[in-house]
Chains A and B, each alone.
Chain A
C-alpha cells in the first residue's frame, strides 16, 4: 500500500483536521485506505455501524451511478459520511467528517481528491504502484 499513489491522495486528505476517515470503496469492499491504514480515533467507536450503512448506500450508488449519480451523503449521530462517486463506476471516495464541520471547505478538497484519483485511475499503473494484495483493487469499473 505504501507506494500506492491513491493512498497518498488519501493521506493528504486525512491531514485535514476534520477528515476523520477516508477510503476509496465499493459495496462490501474497501479498495484503498490511507497508507498507515488507520483513521482518526474519533471514528473507532462508530466505525462498524457506519461501515454497514455505507454498504447500503453503495447499493444505491451501484444502481444509479450510470445515470449520473455524483454525490451522496448521510448523517449518523454526530458524523456525516460523504460519497464522491467515480463516474460510471460503483466506486466512490468516502469521507467521514464531524457533523458540525465547515463542510463547504472540506468539499473543495474532497472534489480535488476525487479529480486526482480519477486521473490516477486513467493512468496505466506502473509495476511499483500495483497493489500486491488481491483484494486491494482500486480501478474496478
Chain B
C-alpha cells in the first residue's frame, strides 16, 4: 500500500544557480512515488552572484511539473538530513492524497504589513475554505529587516555616536516607508495573519541574506520577490503542532525603557540614560567592550528580554541589531517599559532542541523548523551537535531547519510566540503510525 503522505528533502551544493536548482529538485522528487503537491525551497544568498535566483527557480522547474506550487526564501543557512550548511540550497517536496494545499502572497510588508498580511490570508482562505480536512497549518516566510545599502552600514554593527547618527535615525523613517529599507515589521505581519486565520497552527521566519542584511528574497512559484510575505497553507487529516523554545536564563538585571522611536523598535534611552552606554553599564562591561570584533561573542549571548505578552512574567529574547550612536535597534517592538537582560551559553542552546522536540511524543512524518540565525552564527561548526540531536528525533523522516531572523509559532491554544534566538518546530504525524 502506498504511504498516504510522502515528503522528501533535496539538496544541492553546486555553485551555478541553474544546476543547483535542477539538483535540489531531482534529489527531492526522486524519493517520491508521485509528483509533488508542493515544493518548499530555502537557499543561501550565494546564488544571487552565481547566476541569480531566477535561474535557480528555472532549474527547479526544469525538473518539477510546471504547475507545482512553490514557496521559499533566502536563509543564512540550513540543517537537514544531510548535514549543516551555510552555502547551498535545500528543498522539501510533499505529496499526499490526504492534504489540500494553497499558497499565499502579500506585497510591501515594510510599508504596510497589515495590508500584506490580509492579501496573503485572503489567498489562503480562498484556496482552502472548501477543504474538509480538520487540521490547519500555515508556513509564513516574511522579508526580514534590511539596511540601506550605504557605505556607512556595510559590514558594520556599530555606528559610533556623532552628528551622522542623528541624520541616520531621521533617514530611517524615510527609508522605511519610501524605499522599504529598514525594519522587517514581520511581527506586525504575523499579528495580522493570526487575526485573519486564528484557527491555524503557524510557523514563521524572516528571510535573510548572509551577513550584510542588505537584501533578502522570497520565492513564490516562479517569481522572485522582495518585501513580501509568502505562505504555504495546508489542510490535512494529519496531526500538526508547533512549539517555540529558547531556554534563555535570567541575569536578574532589569531596567526601564524610557525613550523609543515611534514604532518602539529603536530604543534611545534606558533608565533615563543613553541606551547603549546604560546597557553596557548594567552588564558591568568596560565601556569599549562591545565592538565590531566582540559583537558575536557578547551581544548574542546577552539579548534583551521583553514581556512576551501583556501581564506575563515570562520574558522573550530580542536580539540587539545594529547600534546607531546610543540607540539600540531591535526587530520586535517594545510594548512594555519593563525589560531585562537574558543570557545563554552553548550547552543551553543545545538543550533548547531537546526541550522543544520532547514535547512531541509522536513519531514524526516530517518536520519544518525555523531557528534564529544567531544560533547558527554563535555555534559555528558546533552546529553539528545540534544536527545530531535533531537527526536522532527524526531518524529517517525528512526535516529541514532553516535559519532566519525573527521567528514565530502560533497555535489557537498557545497564541503567538514571536521571538529571537529561538528554536521553532512544526511537526506532522499520523495517528495510525503510533498505534
A residues neighboring B (CB under 8 Å):
12, 15-16, 71, 84, 99-112, 115
- Name the residue on A nearest B375 (C-beta): A104
Cα of A71 to Cα of B377 in the assembled complex, Å: 17
Decide yes or no whether B293 CB sits under 8 A from chain A: yes
**What residues of chain B lie closer than 8 Å to A108, measured between beta carbons?**
77, 84-86, 376, 380-381, 383
User: CB < 8 Å: which of B15, B85, B292 contacts A112?
Assistant: B85
A–B Cβ pairs within 8 angstroms, 22 of them: A12-B13, A12-B15, A16-B46, A16-B87, A71-B381, A99-B293, A100-B155, A102-B210, A102-B296, A104-B376, A104-B377, A105-B210, A105-B380, A108-B77, A108-B86, A108-B380, A109-B86, A110-B381, A111-B84, A111-B381, A112-B85, A115-B83
Q: With A12-B15, A15-B15 in contact, do A103 and B380 touch (Cβ < 8 Å)?
A: yes
**What residues of chain A lie closer than 8 Å to B210, measured between beta carbons?**
102, 105
Q: In the A-B complex, list the 6 residue pairs whose CB atoms are closest, starting with the nearest.
A: A107-B380, A104-B377, A111-B381, A104-B380, A107-B381, A102-B211
A11 to chain B, nearest CB (A): 10
B85, A104: Cβ atoms under 8 Å? no
Q: Is the interface of B mostly helix, strand, loop or mixed?
A: mixed
Decide yes or no whether B378 CB sits under 8 A from chain A: yes
**What residues of chain B lie closer than 8 Å to A15, measured between beta carbons?**
15, 46
A109, B380: Cβ atoms under 8 Å? no
**What residues of chain A lie closer than 8 Å to B13, measured between beta carbons?**
12
Number of residues of chain B lying within 8 A (CB) of chain A: 24
Residue-wise interface mask of B (346-389) relative to A, using a CB-CB cutoff of 8 A (1 in contact, 0 not): 00000000000000000000000000000011111101100000
B147 to chain A, nearest CB (A): 15
B408 to chain A, nearest CB (A): 22
Q: With A12-B15, A99-B293 in contact, do A104 and B379 touch (Cβ < 8 Å)?
A: yes
B87, A103: Cβ atoms under 8 Å? no
**What residues of chain B lie closer than 8 Å to A115, measured between beta carbons?**
83
B76 to chain A, nearest CB (A): 6
A59 to chain B, nearest CB (A): 24
Residue-wise interface mask of B (207-231) relative to A, using a CB-CB cutoff of 8 A (1 in contact, 0 not): 0001100000000000000000000
B378, A104: Cβ atoms under 8 Å? yes
User: CB < 8 Å: which of A71, A84, A105, A111 contacts B211?
Assistant: A105
Residue-wise interface mask of B (32-64) relative to A, using a CB-CB cutoff of 8 A (1 in contact, 0 not): 000000000000001000000000000000000
Name the residue in B13, B15, B87, B296 with the highest tally of chain A Cβ atoms < 10 Å from its Cβ: B87
A124 to chain B, nearest CB (A): 24
Cα of A106 to Cα of B44 in the assembled complex, Å: 13
User: CB < 8 Å: which of A16, A103, A110, A111 contacts B296?
Assistant: A103
Residue-wise interface mask of B (133-170) relative to A, using a CB-CB cutoff of 8 A (1 in contact, 0 not): 00000000000000000000001000000000000000
**What residues of chain B lie closer than 8 Å to A100, measured between beta carbons?**
155, 292-293
Cα of A107 to Cα of B76 in the assembled complex, Å: 13
A64 to chain B, nearest CB (A): 19
**What residues of chain B lie closer than 8 Å to A71, measured between beta carbons?**
381
Cα of A89 to Cα of B211 in the assembled complex, Å: 34
Cα of A106 to Cα of B296 in the assembled complex, Å: 13
B83, A112: Cβ atoms under 8 Å? yes
B421 to chain A, nearest CB (A): 13
Cα of A100 to Cα of B158 in the assembled complex, Å: 12
A100 to chain B, nearest CB (A): 5
Cα of A93 to Cα of B83 in the assembled complex, Å: 19
- Name the residue on B nearest A116 (C-beta): B13
User: CB < 8 Å: which of A84, A102, A106, A111 contacts B384?
Assistant: A111
- Name the residue on A nearest B50 (C-beta): A15
A1 to chain B, nearest CB (A): 19
- Name the residue on A nearest B379 (C-beta): A104
B292, A102: Cβ atoms under 8 Å? no
Cα of A101 to Cα of B211 in the assembled complex, Å: 8
Name the residue in A110, A112, A115 with the highest tally of chain B Cβ atoms < 10 Å from its Cβ: A112
Cα of A29 to Cα of B15 in the assembled complex, Å: 30
- Name the residue on A nearest B291 (C-beta): A100
- Name the residue on B nearest A104 (C-beta): B377
B62 to chain A, nearest CB (A): 23
Name the residue in A15, A103, A105, A106 with the highest tally of chain B Cβ atoms < 10 Å from its Cβ: A105
B292, A106: Cβ atoms under 8 Å? no
**What residues of chain A lie closer than 8 Å to B46, measured between beta carbons?**
15-16
A112, B155: Cβ atoms under 8 Å? no
A5 to chain B, nearest CB (A): 14
A103 to chain B, nearest CB (A): 6
**What residues of chain A lie closer than 8 Å to B293, measured between beta carbons?**
99-100
Cα of A103 to Cα of B86 in the assembled complex, Å: 11
Cα of A108 to Cα of B292 in the assembled complex, Å: 21
**What residues of chain A lie closer than 8 Å to B377, measured between beta carbons?**
102, 104-105
